[in-house]
Amino acid sequence: MKHTDFLPHYEQFKHKIYSYLYYRSGKNRELAEDLTSEVFLKALEKFHTFKKDSSFQSWIYAIAHNHLVDHFRKDKGSTIDLDIVENVVVSEGDVKSILKRRVAAEQVEHLLEFLSDEEKEIVLLRYRQQLPMKDIADIVGKAEATIRVIIHRALAKLKKRYAAIYISILFFFTFLLNI
């Protein structure tokens, strides 16, 4: 394959890969930029091995995933933060709705702490990156059925934890109102 064939793929996925690496690197903009550049350089170097009949999306995310794992394996002092929450952009919109989104984002971020690293990554790929199950299975090297089970269990765990948090918040506010 020609290197000129790579450019449309780069244009299509550069922001998605950056976003994935940004959240996986603990929202570290500089690190995410460096990793994104390195991922696309690796992909360009290996583009001749890419099979046209396979999914470029799966291929590039697998490279990003493996590169991120390698980076944190080399840099033992760092931790992988798998936040799924997007930054809330303050606009001229309703302050109340902006605050509600921020509170909801904080709740989601807090809930994700109860998932294993594997569950966080798979949930991030599915719901933040909106990847199909097959692509996620290819990226993490597991069967598609296993990915479905992991997502189902992770969501069940989050629902259970959310219910417990919601009940404790209700109890707290009820207690405050009765004082």
Q: Phi/psi at 81 (nearest 5 deg)?
A: -105, 120
Where in the chain is CATH 1.10.10.10? Answer: 86-179
pLDDT higher than threshold 80 for residue 20: yes
**What pLDDT was estimated at residue 178?**
61
Mean pLDDT of 10-30: 89
CB 21 within 8 A of CB 36: yes
pLDDT per position as a tens digit, 90-112: 444 556 666 666 666 666 677 77
What is the structure's pLDDT at 152?
92
Could you report the per-residue pLDDT of 114-168, keeping only the tens digit for each? 889 899 889 888 888 889 999 999 999 999 999 999 999 998 888 887 777 667 6
Class at the top of the CATH hierarchy for domain 1-81: mainly alpha
Does 78 have pLDDT greater than 70? no
Mean pLDDT calculated for residue range 63-75: 86
Length of the chain: 179
CA distance 151 to 19: 21
Query: Which phi and psi angles does 90 have, rounded to 5°?
Result: -75, 125
Read off the pLDDT band of 84 (50, 70, 90). very low
The domain made up of 86-179 is a member of CATH 1.10.3210.10: no
Tell me which of 74 and 76 has the higher pLDDT.
Answer: 74
Question: Alpha-carbon distance 109 to 26, whole Å?
Answer: 12
Confidence of residue 79 (pLDDT cuts 50, 70, 90): very low
CATH code 1.10.1740.10 region(s) in the chain: 1-81
Statement: residue 59 has pLDDT above 60: yes
| pLDDT value of residue 150 | 95
